[in-house]
Structures are given as C-alpha cells and as structure tokens.
Amino acid sequence: MKSIYIIGSKGIPAKYGGFETFVEKLTEYQKDSSIKYFVACMTENSAKSGISDQMFEYNGATCFNIDVPSIGPAKAIAYDIAALKKAIQIAKENKDENPIFYVLACRIGPFINRFRKQIHALGGQLLVNPDGHEWLREKWSAPVRRYWKYSESLMVKHADLLVCDSKNIESYIQKDYAKYKPETTYIAYGTELAGTCLKAEDNTVRTWFSEKGVTEDNYYLVVGRFVPENNYETMIREFMKSKSKKDFVLITNVEQNAFYEQLKADTGFDKDSRIKFVGTVYDQSLLKYIRENAFAYFHGHEVGGTNPSLLEALASTKLNLLLNVGFNREVGEDGAIYWDKDNLHRVIDEVETMSEAEIFVMDKLSTEQVKNRFTWDFIVDEYEKCFMSGGKK
C-alpha cells in the first residue's frame, strides 16, 4: 500500500476552493486501490459538513482534523505546520514504507527543511505544488509579499519534486530557481465535462433569472474571487466603453468589500444598468446552467496557474474571452479569443458580429481542449502514475 499524505487544503468534503476541489476529485476518481490517501483538514471546515470526529473516512481517504487559532495571515502557516507534523506522526505510527507528503502551496518555506529531514528519515519523499504567484497578489501587504517570495524559494530548494499545474509556472520555477536545479513535472488542474441537469423551465432556473433581471444568451459572465489581480476594473471599464446591449453578469462576493466601493467610485458602474453584480451561486447545477447559457465568458485572471473557473468556462460556455497572458493561452489555445487591457471593448463589439456557425466552432474547440487535457479522469491518472513512481519525475 502506498501512503500519500496531503497537506495544505482546508480539507474534504470540499465546500469551496481550488485545492479543496482538487483533493475531493483526487479521492473521488481514485483508480489505483494500492494507494491510500491521508488528508489534513481544518476542524472548522469539517464542522461545516457536520463532522466533529478528529479522524474520519471520506471517499476512501483517512481525514484528520487540525485545530488552528485565528491569527490572521499566519493562520495558514500554523495550519500547514501542524498538519505536516501530524502527518509525519501518523506515518511513523503506521510504519509506512516510502510515504509521500504532498504539500499544496509554499507557505512554510522557513520550516520545511526540518520536516524534509524527518520525511527522508522515514524513507519518504516531499512533493510540493507551488500554486501561482502568491507573492504578486495585491491583497497582501509588502512584508507579507516578501515572506511569500522567500518562503517559495525555500520550498523549491528543499522539495524532492515540484508538481506544477501550469506550464508557465513550471518554466518560472526552472528559470528563477535554476541554482537549486529543481525537479519539476507538469500535471494540470481538472474539471467536469457533464452538462447541467437543469432545464430552462425548472423553477430554480426561472426564479434566479427573474430575480436578477437576466435572460439566456443575452449576457457576458464572469465568476471568480473579487480581487484586483483578476482585472475586474479593466473588464468593467472596457465593457462600459463597448456598444453592447447585453448585460455583464458578475458572480462574486462583494459584501463588505472596500475594493467594490472604490471600484464603484472610480468607474461609476452603478450608473450602467447593463452591469449586474448578482452575488454568489453555490448550487453547482444552477451555476453550470448559467455558464452554459451565457453569450460569452470573461476571464481576467493574471496571477496563478491553471485556473478552475477558466476550465469550467471552457467546458460549459460557448464563447470565451481571455486576458492575453501565458497562463490563459496555454489552457485556451485556439479555443478562445484573447484581449489586452486596452482593447477589450473592441473585442466585445467584434464578437457580437460573429455568426452562429463561427461561435459553434469556438464552442467545439474549447470543449475539445478540456476533453483532451483537463478531465478529472485524466488528471487523477497522471497523479497516480506520479505517486506510484515514488514521486520521481
């Protein structure tokens, strides 16, 4: 039996989040029965699913809860340290042979060498997912950003293998940290291909569309975290400059958000009736229906690897308009249309002249991109090969 310890997600069952969904799908789609997963979970995350046991089984994985004090940005660091310490303890108690410890994100760089020595003493391997450029995110203060960058450098230095979910991230790791001669491999994020089970006449659908004042195939859509680096300001400003008579629907959480108030003051979007902030949608079937019936999807993410919301859009939405950066081009390839920060309004006006046949071709190409490279079935198979090779490239 090959023991795999996963550290760094809030845990499963997944309620939200990219890493949480990844761990959920990794365990759900497991094919190789000789693999045994152990998943670190935040106690508060488990409580949301009504789970109070310190250890429990889910999707065949053994999950163990970690209590973490609320200490601001350092909470995630404390969590990863406590979770990795507990994982090593469990591996010792189980007398695991050659276990793998897979750490998601680069939060604990200053502490990782000590843990690496313990892992190697067990005959184990340390794998790290470097995630995206966390040190570039505007939500962090300058000192926190410096910590992220420093921590990342140490995680890269001490990892036995870095599993990158973006080719651009892999290239960045190899270039910026060449002095460490990092071992890397590329395994993307995944998504589902199945369409929604909802129909146009279903009450859930009609209620949402009626309440939001939106009609099918008559809106542009964006779904994602409401943070500056996702270029909401650019998308809103450029949409306001366009001639479109369609709506711009933003599914995101803006409650008590200073960025939202500043954006409203700077752009005056509240005076444009086409722009509709509609809150969050947690019903996944409804969200998929909304994606499938958008005229087009905007993706303005500039920081990070293979973004989950982008994969979901490529699988579900007919027409996808992506910010022209390497992260997005490597995923969308020829199945998307690309825009720069000063020309999105022109792209919007141009795509509204496209024929149904042209949109159909783009829809087919984007779906094929996902089908061939990003299904969870394919991604989990790639991970199992990696794990069974002992974490070797």
pLDDT in tens, 214-240: 999 999 999 988 888 899 999 999 999
Supply the pLDDT for residue 256.
Answer: 67
What pLDDT, in 10s, does the model give residues 270-283? 999 999 999 999 89
Q: What is the pLDDT of residue 153?
A: 95
* Contact between 7 and 81 (Cβ < 8 Å): no
Contact status, residue 332 vs residue 294, Cβ threshold 8 Å:
no
pLDDT of res. 322: 97
pLDDT band with cut points at 50, 70 and 90 for residue 303:
confident
| Higher-confidence position of 14 and 88 | 88
Model pLDDT, residue 135: 55
pTM: 0.88
Among 137-141, 228-232, 253-257, 349-353, name the most confident range.
Answer: 349-353
CA separation for the pair 84, 101 (Å, rounded): 8
pLDDT of the residue at 213: 97
Residue 246: pLDDT over 60:
yes
How far are the Cα atoms of 27, 122, 163, 254 from residue 236, in angstroms, in the given order?
38, 53, 35, 15
pLDDT at 353 over 60: yes
How confident is the prediction for the chain on average, in pLDDT?
A: 93
Least confident of 92-106, 305-319, 344-358: 305-319
Q: How confident is the model at residue 383 (pLDDT cuts 50, 70, 90)?
A: very high
For residue 29, pLDDT beyond 90: yes
Contact status, residue 295 vs residue 219, Cβ threshold 8 Å? yes
The whole-number pLDDT of residue 371 equals 93
Contact assessment for residue 87 and residue 7, using Cβ atoms and an 8 Å cutoff: yes
CA atoms within 13 A on the CB side of 249: 28
Q: Tell me the DSSP string of 203-272.
A: HHHHHHHHHHT--TTSEEEEES---GGG-HHHHHHHHHHS---SEEEEES--TT-HHHHHHHHHH-GGG-
Calculate helix-pair angle for 356-373, 308-316, nearest 10 degrees. Answer: 130
The pLDDT, as a whole number, for residue 327 is 85
Element holding 275 (H helix, E strand): strand 275-279
Q: Which helix (H) or strand (E) holds 359?
A: helix 356-373
Least confidently predicted of 41-55, 124-138, 171-185, 349-363: 124-138
Over residues 138-166, mean pLDDT: 87
Q: How far apart are CA 314 and CA 329, in angstroms?
A: 12
pLDDT at 358: 97
Q: Which residues contact 130 (CB under 8 A, 6 or more apart)?
A: 105, 106, 152, 155, 156, 162, 164, 169, 173
Q: How many CB atoms lie within 10 A of CB 212?
A: 18
Range in 137-141, 187-191, 251-255, 388-392 with the lowest mean pLDDT: 137-141
Residue 306 has pLDDT above 90, yes or no: no
Q: How sure is the predictor about 134, in pLDDT bands with cuts at 50, 70 and 90?
A: low
Confidence band of 254 (pLDDT split at 50, 70, 90): confident
- For position 115, what pLDDT does the model report? 98
Q: What is the spatial distance between Cα 335 and Cα 339, in angstroms, rounded to a whole number?
A: 14
Residue 148 has pLDDT above 90, yes or no: no
pLDDT for residue 70: 86
Gap between the Cα atoms of 274 and 345, Å rounded: 14
CA-based angle 277:282:285, to the nearest 5?
A: 105
The number of residues in the chain equals 393
Domain(s) labelled CATH 3.40.50.2000 in the chain stretch across 2-190+376-388, 203-373
Contact present, 164 and 129 (Cβ < 8 Å): yes
The superfamily (CATH) of domain 203-373 is: Glycogen Phosphorylase B; (3.40.50.2000)
Token pair of 334 as six digits: 């020829």
Give the pLDDT confidence score for residue 309 in this predicted structure: 87
How far is residue 171 from each of residues 174, 177, 186, 333, measured CA to CA in Å?
A: 5, 10, 10, 17
DSSP state at residue 375: B
CA distance 157 to 135: 17
Q: Using CA atoms, how far apart are residues 307 and 166, in angstroms rounded to an integer?
A: 9
Identify the residue whose tokens are 């998307």: 336
- pLDDT band, residue 340 (cuts 50/70/90): very high
Neighbours of 345 (CB within 10 A): 17
Which CATH number fits the domain 2-190+376-388, given the four candidates 3.40.50.2000, 3.40.30.10, 3.40.190.10, 3.40.225.10? 3.40.50.2000
Q: What is the pLDDT of residue 139?
A: 64
Nearest Cα to Cα of residue 188 among 28, 392, 331 = 331
pLDDT level of residue 136 (50, 70, 90 thresholds)? low
Q: Give the relative orientation of helices 109-121 and 75-94 as an angle to the nearest 10 degrees.
A: 0
